[in-house]
Amino acid sequence: MTAALFRQVEFDQAAYDQVLEKPAAPTKYVIYFTPRSGSSWLTDVLSQTKRMSLANEAFNPNFIPNIARVCNASNLDQYVNVLMRRHNTRGVYGFEITMHQLKAVFPSQERFLSYFGTGPCFWLIRRDIVAQAVSLAKMVTTKVAHTAQGTAEDWRRADESFAYDAGLIRRWLKHILVAERETEAMFAAHGMTPLRMCYEQMMPLGPERVAQVMMRHVGVEADLPEGTFETKHAKLGTARNEEYADRFRRDEADFLKEVEAERAPWLARFDDLAALAAAAG
């Protein structure tokens, strides 16, 4: 599948060689995440620091064909080489990736880590996996992902068109759970120690404090003046989301007990972002 992602690229060797003359970012970081965990908001925040690269989903297989054409990259090696140079932001390159994306694009975890190592990284999830699954089911059904897309009328219509479907919510909850399970296994197998973040801690802190914590973890100067950030991303969940989440918890109580038991050890390891933000000043 990986080769197919680059099939439409009309490769220009001379242009590629010219890009390679530029330095690759010596500092690389990765944000591992699950969908509907605040990752788009976080990308927006980190890109505005002007120090943390674009922090986007450069390895989302849905995006790679277009990015590869722009980057003049006809295979995975070239793609990584170009990204680490084109998006070298004062010596830093970072991006977000889900386990499902990693498996779709890279032949193995070892191949992925051969590019990006086991250095500074983050693990972003959502503690309330039911609310997360409802949000993901709604996004897939309505095709509305963020408040930065469309108008208030678009969001209202999408909300009204979203019908309760326990089977659909369960399907996407299991999708999220598989990503958590496999990402945790990768961390354990390779001795990786990410800074563990969750949506519920991250959003109340606000962009400045979250950026400071993450920049400090990567080793980047985190002196950000107040008012640095202006984001178009806001909470898209509604009372309907909450109603469906409560209903699902009642309908699937036995299933959720199993989910909670599996997740408990992972959730216990999460870092205290508020304390880290206080330490970062």
Cα 21 vs. chain centroid, distance in angstroms?
30
pLDDT of residue 234: 62
**Bridge pairing between strands 92-97 and 27-33:** parallel
Distance CA 281, CA 269 (A): 23
Per-residue model confidence as pLDDT tens digits over 239-278? 999 999 999 999 999 999 999 999 999 999 999 999 998 9
Instruction: Taking residues 206-211, report their average pLDDT.
Output: 92
Distance CA 261, CA 238 (A): 28
Q: Taking the domains of the chain in order of start, what are their residue ranges?
A: 3-280
Pick the CATH number of 3-280 from 3.40.50.300, 3.40.50.800, 2.40.10.10, 3.40.640.10: 3.40.50.300
Enter the pTM of the model. Answer: 0.93
pLDDT of residue 146: 56
Q: Residue 115: is it exposed, middle or buried by C-beta count within 10 angstroms (0-12/13-18/19+)?
A: middle
Confidence of residue 224 (pLDDT cuts 50, 70, 90): confident
